[in-house]
Amino acid sequence: GNSVTQMEGPVTLSEEAFLTINCTYTATGYPSLFWYVQYPGEGLQLLLKATKADDKGSNKGFEATYRKETTSFHLEKGSVQVSDSAVYFCALSLMNAGNMLTFGGGTRLMVKP
Amino acid sequence: EPEVTQTPSHQVTQMGQEVILRCVPISNHLYFYWYRQILGQKVEFLVSFYNNEISEKSEIFDDQFSVERPDGSNFTLKIRSTKLEDSAMYFCASSEVIRYGTEAFFGQGTRLTVV
């Protein structure tokens, strides 16, 4: 079946630190890969996505590269801010499964000033 | 910016009661989804809906659950006889088309508490 594994949190960083949240996947086909973010009290928002191998998704200073050889889609940011504190979800979808999303467990990021 | 809206934001119900969770997807979207997240666990797919019928459903989506698009704007999830283990955050989502890499837009969720 399809599954997504991401590092457990919480991840606590100081402002301006470098962030990596690891995500690996298994899929029965060729998936699209996503990072969603959930800020406190809000719903899930798409942060970035990539649809084929070696594609890099980027948004708001966050980046993730679709690595087919390692089945990974790690999220990185060079310098985090307090406002980045949120829960981050890695997910995949397959078109032959109606684009339903399979999520990882979520990683809570806390950034301290 | 268009958004998916869900009501209510929080619902408390007694075990065995029926609940209806409501969603208004983005107006030009054609595909609708329900997901749920039990506290501390993964976000899980429940069901997808297109052209007035269920297109995919998970094993969680048993006979106690049903979905409906009663008019041109609302999309509802009904739980017929709630159990304690149905307590969760329920997210509605919609997408415009089914294409490779199409993103889904999520609502803010309804927190269902069964007592």
Give the model's confidence band at B74: pLDDT under 50 very low, under 70 low, under 90 confident, else very high.
very high
Checking if the pLDDT of B8 tops 90, the result is yes
* Token pair of A9 as six digits: 């949190």
Q: Do B42 and A104 touch (CB under 8 A)?
A: yes
Alpha-carbon span A47 to A45, nearest angstrom: 6
pLDDT given for residue A1 in this prediction: 85
Alpha-carbon span A38 to A56, nearest angstrom: 21
A56: burial class by Cβ within 10 Å (0-12, 13-18, 19+)? exposed
What's CA B23's distance to the chain center, in Å?
Answer: 7
Is A101 in CB contact (< 8 Å) with chain B?
Answer: yes
Q: Do B35 and A32 touch (CB under 8 A)?
A: no
Contact list in B for residue A46 (CB cut-off 8 A) is 103-105
pLDDT given for residue B48 in this prediction: 94
Q: What are A48-70's pLDDT values in tens digits?
A: 999 999 999 999 999 999 999 99
Our CA-based measurement puts residue A98 at a distance from the nearest CA of chain B, in whole angstroms, of: 7
Contact list in A for residue B44 (CB cut-off 8 A) is 103
Contact list in A for residue B31 (CB cut-off 8 A) is 98-99
Alpha-carbon span A93 to A30, nearest angstrom: 9
Most B CBs within 10 A among A7, A23, A44, hence the mutation to make, goes to A44
Q: What are A60-98's pLDDT values in tens digits?
A: 999 999 999 999 999 999 999 999 999 999 999 987 777
Question: Which of A10-14, B25-29, B60-64, B69-73 shows the lowest mean pLDDT across its residues?
Answer: B69-73
DSSP symbol at B41: S
pLDDT given for residue A24 in this prediction: 98
pLDDT given for residue B2 in this prediction: 79
- For B25-35, what is the mean pLDDT? 94
Give the model's confidence band at A41: pLDDT under 50 very low, under 70 low, under 90 confident, else very high.
confident
Is B108 in CB contact (< 8 Å) with chain A?
Answer: yes
Strands B105-106 and B10-13: unpaired
Sign of CA dihedral A81, A83, A84, A85: positive
Residue of chain A with shortest Cα separation from B33? A100
Q: Do B91 and A43 touch (CB under 8 A)?
A: yes
